[in-house]
Structure 1
Amino acid sequence: MRVLQRQQGWGKLLYKLLYSAHDFFSPVNVFRYITFRTALAVISAMLLSLFIGPRIITWLKKISITQQIRDDGPQTHIKKSGTPTMGGIIIIACIVLSVLMWGDLENMYVWIMVLSLIGYGVIGLLDDYLKVIRKNPKGLRAWYKFGAQILLALAIGLFLYMNPKDPYNDVLSIPFFKRWLFDLGWFYIPFSILVIVGSSNAVNLTDGIDGLAIGLVGIALLANMILVYISGNAKFAQYLQVLHLPGTGELTVVCGAMLGASLGFLWFNSYPADVFMGDVGSLGLGGSLGTLAIITKHEIVLALVGGIFVIETLSVVFQVASFKLTGKRIFKMAPIHHHFELKGWHESKVIVRFWIVGIMLALLSIATLKLR
C-alpha cells in the first residue's frame, strides 16, 4: 500500500504539482488538459524508445537472445536467424515510464491497464525465456500459458464487473446503433476473458513479419485514442450519443504512451528488422488492447479496428480445422500473412497492404461514432 502511495505521489509531482503552480505561472495550466498530456505521453514514450532501444538491442545481442527461425516457415525468413528478440521489454518499459510521468495515477483504470500490460508481458517473457534461453522450442506449456492468461483476465473482468462506479459494468454496446445495449449479467465475466485473451493471442499470431504487428497496433491505438477521449468526455459523448464512462478519458494518456512506444519500436522493427518484440511484447500489447476494450465498452469496435488481427487468428483456426477434418489445407501457410508471402508477395508488400487495410478499418471504427 505504501508503494502505491509513493507512486501516486510521484504522479502528483510530475504533472499535478506542475499544474498546481498555475496560480504563479499561468502557462502550466495546460497540464490540466488530457489532450496536452497525451501529446507529451506520445513524445516521451517515443523518445525513450529511440534512446534506450539501441542499448537494449546491443545488450540482447551480447547475451545471445536471438530469434531461431523454424525450418517449416518461408525460406526467405532464414536470413532473420540471429536477430535479437524479446525487444518487447523496450515497449513495456517506455509505456510504463511515460504513464508514470503524465498519467493521473489516482485513476484506477490507469492502473488496470498497467497491470494488464505488465501481467501479459510477464507471461510472454516466460515463454520467450524457455524458447530462447532454455532452447525449448515449444516454450511455456499451453495449459500453463493459457491458464495464466485466463486467470489474469478473470481478475480484471471480476474487478470491472464489481466496480460500483461503472453504471455499464455488465453491458455490451453495439456500434452503429444508439440504444442497442445488452445486459449480459454475470456472463459478462467469461465474455471479458474471451476478449482479453483473444486479443492477446491475436496480436501474437500477427507478429510474424517485420513491423506488421507493431504497425497495426499503432493504427488501432490511434483510433482508440479518439474513441476513448470522446467516451470519457461528457459533452462529446452527449453530442455523439455514445456511452459516457466517467474516468475513462484518462486512458487517452495511456493510449498515447502505447502509441509513442509502438512508433519508437517500429523504428527498429521495420523491414529489415533490427529486433523482434517476442511474446513479451505481442502478448503484453494484445492483452492491454483487450483490457482497454472491456473498460471502455468497445469490445465489438475492437474486432473492427483490429480486423487484421481477427483475420490472422481465423486463418489459423480454419487451417487447423480443415487439415484435421479433411486432411487438406486452405492456405499455403497460416497465419495468412505467410500465405501471401508464399504466393510471391514480397514481405514489405504484405506489410504495407495489411497496414492499408488496417487504416481503412480504423477509419470505419471511428465512423461508428457518428453513424448511430
Structure 2
Amino acid sequence: MTKTTRNPDAAHQMPSVQHEGRYRNNAPINRMSFKKTLGVFWTAMFNKPSHTRPAGAIPVQPLSRQQLLAAPNNSVFRLGHSTVLLKLRNQFWLTDPVFAERASPVQWAGPQRFHQPPISLEDLPPIKAVILSHNHYDHLDHMAIKALAPKVEHFLAPIGVGDTLIEWGVPAAKVRQLDWWQDTEIDGMRFVATPSQHFSGRTLRDGNQTLWASWVIIDDARRIFFSGDSGYFDGFKQIGEQYGPFDVTLMETGAYNVDWPDVHMQPEQTLQAHIDLRGRWLLPIHNGTFDLAMHAWHEPFDRILALAWEKNISITTPQMGQAFYLDYPSRGNAWWLAVEGVVESGMAERTEPQGQRRHS
C-alpha cells in the first residue's frame, strides 16, 4: 500500500499556483517577444550552426538485460539526454524515458538523436517506477510510454502529466500525480516532487496546463536529486536545506541560451545549484543526445568541467551506458574530446581536480 502526502513539518513549502487554469513559477519569468521567438525558431529550423551536432560518433557502451540484472545495487546508468536508469534496492527506476529518434511531435522533422540508446525498450528489465519531470517532447516520449506501460509498476508525475499518461492508455492505478513538496513511498523508497523553474506544453494551445517538477529520491541514507529542466532559482537552496546532502545530483547542463535564463541554466548556474543542493557528486545531464540550442554540442561538458575544476567539485561524466556507482564513485573521462578529434595530452583522462578528495 502506498500513499501521497505533504511534509507536515515544512510549513514554508508552498504548493504550485494556478492562474486561469495555467501553472506559474514562484517567481515571474521574462518571456521573449513573439518576433524574437519567431527569429529563434527560424534559426533553429533553417540556419543552425553545424557545430551543434558532433563531428564523429558518440561512444555508447551497450547494455543488456543480463548486465543490468547482474549490476550491483546503487548503480546509475545514463541512457541519453535526461533518461537515467537507477538500480536501487535491486529494482530499477527510470527518469524521463525518451527513446524516440527525434525530440519532436513528428518523427520526420525536429532534433534528431546523436546516438542510439544503450539498450532498447524491449530489452529493459521490469521497471519499478518511471519518474517524469514535465511534458516537453525531450522528456515525455509517447512511444516510450506506450511500450513501457506493461513492464512498469508505477508512473510518478507532476500534476496533469499523469492525466496525459492515462489518456495514452496507462492504467490509472499505475499513475501517481504529485504537487510540489508532496511525497510518495514505494517499497520503502521515498520520492518527493520538488519545485523547478520552467514551463510546460506540447502544442501551441496547452502551455502551462500541466505542472513541472524536480525530484528528490530517498533510499534510507542514500539521496539522489533529479533536476528535470529549470532555470536557476532559490528553490535549490531550499531543497538542499530540507533534503540534502545528496550523494549525486543529476543536473540539467545543456540546451541553454542567453535568451532563456529563467527556464534553462547556464553551466555556472548548474554548478551553483549543485552547491546549493549540498551535492557530493555532480552528474551533468540534458546534453550529448539532441541539438536543442545554438551552442556547440560539447560546450556544456567543456564549461561544466572547467568550472568544477576551479571550484574543486567532484564531477562525473560517464559515457552513455557506462555505470556510475554510488558506493565507489569515479570521475569517468572526457570522452567528447575524442569525438571532435581534439584530445590533448592527458585531457581525456582528467575530469576532476588533482588531489580532489572522493566522496563515498
Could you state the TM-score of these two structures normalised by the residue count of structure 2? 0.27
Per residue, is there more helix in 1 or in 2? 1
Q: Relative to total residues, which structure has the larger strand share, 1 or 2? A: 2
Q: Greater RCO between the two (CA within 8 Å, min separation 6)?
A: 1
